[in-house]
Amino acid sequence: MKRYFVIAIIAILFLTILYFGWNMFYSKNSQKGVNFSQEIGILPAATDPTTVELKNGDTYDLTASIVKKNIGGNDVKMLAYNGSIPGQLIKVAQNAVITVNFKNNTDVDSTIHSHGVRLDNQFDGVPDITQKAVKPGESFSYKMTFPDVGIYWYHPHVREDYAQELGLYGNFLVTPNSPDYWGEVDREETLFLDDILIEGGQIANFDKSVIDHTLMGRFGNTMFINGDDNYKLSVRQGERVRFYITNAANARVFNFTIPNVRMKLVGSDNGKYEHEQWVDSVIIGPSERQIVEIAFAKDGEYQILNQTPDQTYALGTIDVQKHPVTTTYLPVLRENQDLIDSLKPLKSFFNKPADKDLKLTLEMGSSAPENNSSMGEHMMGNGEMMEDREMSMGEVEKIEWEDDMGMMNVQSTTNTLTWKLIDQESEKENMYIGWEFKKGDTVKIKIFNDDQSMHPMQHPIHIHGQKFLVLSTNGQSSSNLVWKDTTLIQTGDTVELLTQMDNPGTWLIHCHIPEHMEAGMISQFEVI
């Protein structure tokens, strides 16, 4: 018996080595010479973002281009909107309509997707669904409408794994028409959280034709706030600051905290919560946003941290100057009765059975013609290794804060695995699901994140063109509702979303880890 056990272990090791060897051969030979260039040459240096305030009817020119940026003492090639990383903060009033003339001067096809903005379908920026991709040197004009208060962002919807990772992202801040929508503060700051993978002083290579890191997504080893690996902010003692925080990382979940302050959670993706609440930290999945308010009562230096169960990372510092402002901060929590009242007509839908039922899972191996017939067998070895990993942890983690799969993640590609959205009723998958709704439908969607898949992990699920409420998680009703467009579904969780299908057109639902989306975890639906 012991002999058979040893033979089995040797067989598993052999298959694993064979798999990695095949991947290395494939990447070094079949894909040789097709990485995106890392040449710096005489590229202009990236600048810091500015704020652009646009009024109803205004037109704005936005150009994506190639720049250089110094990270950790090394100049690296990156991409920027109007020369800055992040792109300009575009500030508009609620219900404003603007035109953005986009030009692509990068080395990859592109679009502008206005993430979370419920605009006309033809301007959603999804190639082959709402428009043709904007090729290098080409332009496209977007008419953008902003019906909802909140913090939104813009980024490409082509090769997000590369273009967004290299710096193509910026915020829209939609200000309310009502002066008392938010509590009173002395200043507002937008914070983009991000990370990037640096190897040998350069950004790790991206292949032009094959997307890698598809198992977990591309985690970085250098973290940013607003494109800066040494972010600093200066405020005055006593100032009340509202922070609009966006996670632009490909895969990393941040647990944002500033120790030794009272932090008030007031809003998320599409506006304010029913009730403000005191929090020590906020978990922000890729593409999610959270809005917090802080009054800095004492002078001194405060650290901005990403605090995970295993490690704490310094993201930046806030220098509070000893020159008190004269405003008074009332440490009270607001109850937003206007939002509570607006949700009352939807209460009758909260307990109805789900209209749609999705499962998020993974299939290892592929039937793609590029793969040989034994690839499935090679992946079986990986599957057994993953089972060992899960058993060693005792139970599967709800959130994977780091890339713990190493070379297996690096060498996984769209050819070796498929991430899946599965309609539990029809058993159709990904782009073949084909949901149809009528304008005005209120739809309850149940989503289960399979903890028995070959690599269970969290997924930030984004719905285009509509907004939704997270009604419950694992049967526990949400006690503080807020309109969202993206929600982080942790491993093993079942969430129920209530979506108002008010915006006609063909839209996407997908995981916002770009590598997962490219590896299949994406579907479309139509609102007629």
Please list the pLDDT of the chain residue by residue as tens digits (528 residues). Answer: 444 443 444 444 444 444 444 444 444 444 444 899 999 989 999 999 999 999 999 999 999 999 999 999 999 999 999 999 999 999 999 999 999 999 999 999 999 999 999 999 999 999 999 999 999 999 999 999 999 999 999 999 999 999 999 999 999 999 999 989 999 999 999 999 999 999 999 999 999 999 999 999 999 999 999 999 999 999 999 889 999 999 999 999 999 999 999 999 999 999 999 999 999 999 999 999 999 999 998 999 999 999 999 999 999 999 999 876 666 555 789 999 999 999 999 999 999 999 999 999 999 975 443 433 333 333 333 444 444 444 334 456 899 999 999 999 999 999 999 999 999 999 999 999 999 999 999 999 999 999 999 999 999 999 999 999 999 999 999 999 999 999 999 999 999 999 999 999 999 999 999 999 999 999 999 999
| Residues 498 and 457: beta-carbon distance below 8 Å | no
- The closest of 527, 434, 447 to 492, measured between CA atoms, is 447
3-state secondary structure of 1: coil
3-state secondary structure 468-524: EEEEEECCEECCCCCCECEEEECCCCEEEEEEEECCCEEEEEEECCHHHHHCCCEEE
d(CA 244, CA 248) in angstroms, rounded, equals: 13
pLDDT at 366: 53
d(CA 336, CA 18) in angstroms, rounded, equals: 59
Structure-token pair, residue 177: 């028409």
d(CA 468, CA 486) in angstroms, rounded, equals: 9
CA dist list (Å): 272 to 152, 283, 312, 340: 13, 17, 29, 11
Question: Using the 8-state DSSP alphabet, how is residue 345 labeled?
Answer: G
d(CA 244, CA 200) in angstroms, rounded, equals: 33
- The closest of 225, 272, 262 to 247, measured between CA atoms, is 225
What pLDDT digit, counting tens, does each position of 302-342 carry? Answer: 999 999 999 999 999 999 998 766 665 557 899 999 999 99
Delineate the domains of the chain, giving CATH numbers in brackets.
51-181 (2.60.40.420), 188-337 (2.60.40.420), 349-527 (2.60.40.420)
* 59-71 vs 97-105, strand pairing mode: parallel
- The closest of 146, 156, 102, 161 to 126, measured between CA atoms, is 156
| Residues 354 and 445: beta-carbon distance below 8 Å | yes
